[in-house]
Structure 1
Amino acid sequence: MSIQNNVIGPFSAQGVSDPYGALRNFQIMKKLGHGHFSVVFSAKNRFDNVCVALKKVELSQMADAKAIEDCKREISLLQQLNHPNVIKYISHFVEDNDLYIVLELASAGDLAQMIKHFIKHNKRMTEKTIWKFFCQICSGLEHMHSKRIMHRDIKPANIFVSAEGIVRLGDLGLGRFFGSQTKSAHSMVGTPYYMSPERIQEHDLGYDFRSDIWSLGCILYEMAALRSPFYGENLNLLLLRKKIEALDYVPLPANIFSLELCHLVAKCLVLDPQQRPYIGEVNHIAQVMYARCVEQANINNNTPTPTPSSRNDSASGSVTPVNNR
């Protein structure tokens, strides 16, 4: 029996009249990235010329039913979300035992690529740019948490940027819906550098939405320092776990970044998840700080004879490295 006949049920195509419901309706442009069982392409729809991201999942390569259930869950979670800072689900269909998920395209790449660009050119993000991106990340995550969906894999490679500079959270392959009676999750999934201590530790004590807050703290730090707070050469999982549990990271330089940014990183990177803020508080701080940066930039722009040091509205400045211990 084919995979389609055996397990595809909820993967059935959206209907023959759906212009996004068949591979022949797309012109494949280029490969954008890949995972264990998936490849993502940019593609143009032949009916309306809209460019999309087309995620191809090779179901035939999946050896267990759990991996297939993860695909179903990703689609289900995407269908529940509708927010400008979350990658939009468009459609899905199955052809030749491959699942295709049609998603909104963020054509400017992802935050990981952007960080590499700044490192390559020996530049750093200005604080205005950091808050501009971070408040959008927070807005998208607040929407997800309001729907009782935990992302569980917040990292630069899963934060996408459109050509217009709109930031969108994506890749919900590890997302988890919390029912009204669900208090915690227990699966050790995610990317280790961004995993909270309660998720990466040996003892399975469970975790909840505030594990995502830890990941946000890592993202905010990395946009400023251009590296993960817990990065280290040749770290295995055990050494990384010890580094995280010891909160062994170099604080951001307070002479470059605002106290508010440094304090928010510290508020998110707290070992006890009960002491971390909820997403609403983090988002509020981010929105206030971005508005303050915009206001200051406008004041600087209206100064009759601005000095180079007073103009801080560009996307980059000179790098001041944050050294490893």
Structure 2
Amino acid sequence: MAQYHSTPAGVIEVLKEQGYTIEKELSRGASGIVFLVKDTEGDPYVIKQINSRDEEELDAVRKEVEILENLSFGYIVTYVNSFEDDAGRIYIVMEYCEGGDLSKVMETHQGESYFEEQQILDWLVQICLALRYIHEKNILHRDIKPQNIFLTEDGYINLGDFGCSKVLERADGYANSVVGAKLYFSPEVCQRRYNSKSEVRRLFLLVLF
């Protein structure tokens, strides 16, 4: 059954106009709401509704959309489209990964046996391939953590949520903003000078924890 409680009426109407029906709310934060929706043909998608408080935030979300529009790879969540409403809210439509995010999978394994070594290796290789793909485009993800790694129905990895990402001006460039989950910060991020190599260290910390 669709869950509309506490969802702004304007959001529901905008999604209906775009051909989407809300199935349920997946998550909610200060910046917006993530919904599971279905289109007119009954196919499931995820829509991230983002509240933009000022023009700077609006530009940041638009930059995220620009990055997503240029990504097409098997181990990255597929971007579908995006749109804005009159209230300044931006909506990003993405592929729905039925397996949920890796953090929830890890939670279900607490107190049980460890993941099989081969499973961990498979996931690690898939994440590395996704990172190599974006790094070849001079893109840093900058927020690698279990909550941003999703699983398909078949158990394959899809890297998602590029809200903290940055496009470097050149391949040997550096970023200096401190963003992302602190638990997975590499030393270079704390020093405010880092490149794609720091993401490999973030990935190592993810495997470690």
Alignment TM-score, normalising by the size of structure 1: 0.57
Name the counterpart of 1:163.
Answer: 153
1:187-243 Cα shifts (integer Å, max 9, x gaps)? 111110101112124xx4x1111111111101222xxxxxx2xxxxxxxxxxxxxxx
Distance in 2 of aligned mates of 1:113 and 1:172: 19
Q: How does 1:57-206 map to 2 (within 5 A)?
A: 57-59=50-52, 62=53, 64-97=54-87, 98-119=89-110, 121-180=111-170, 183-201=173-191, 204=192, 206=193
Moved over 4 A (4+): none
Larger helix share, 1 or 2: 1
Name the counterpart of 1:212.
Answer: 199
Distance in 2 of aligned mates of 1:146 and 1:182: 11
Residue type of the alignment partner of 2:168:
F
Residue type of the alignment partner of 1:219:
L
Distance in 2 of aligned mates of 1:172 and 1:181: 19
Residue type of the alignment partner of 1:147:
K
Distance in 2 of aligned mates of 1:106 and 1:95: 26
Residue type of the alignment partner of 1:168:
N
Name the counterpart of 2:15.
Answer: 23
TM superposition shift of 1:181: 7.0
1:270-314 Cα shifts (integer Å, max 9, x gaps)? xxxxxxxxxxxxxxxxxxxxxxxxxxxxxxxxxxxxxxxxxxxxx
CA RMSD of aligned residues (A): 1.5
TM superposition shift of 1:165: 0.9
Name the counterpart of 2:3.
Answer: none
Distance in 2 of aligned mates of 1:40 and 1:88: 16
Q: SS at 1:124's partner residue?
A: coil
CA contact (8 A) 1:39 1:57 kept: yes
Alignment TM-score, normalising by the size of structure 2: 0.87
Give aligned pairs, total. 193
Name the counterpart of 2:47.
Answer: 54
| Stretches of structure 2 lacking an aligned partner (at least 5 in a row) | 1-13
Q: SS at 2:188's partner residue?
A: helix
CA contact (8 A) 1:44 1:52 kept: yes
Distance in 2 of aligned mates of 1:217 and 1:163: 25
Name the counterpart of 2:7.
Answer: none
Residue type of the alignment partner of 2:59:
E
Name the counterpart of 1:307.
Answer: none
Distance in 1 of aligned mates of 2:171 and 2:115: 42
Identity of counterpart residues, as a percentage? Answer: 30
Distance in 1 of aligned mates of 2:49 and 2:70: 21
Distance in 1 of aligned mates of 2:190 and 2:25: 32
Q: SS at 2:109's partner residue?
A: helix
CA contact (8 A) 1:27 1:45 kept: yes
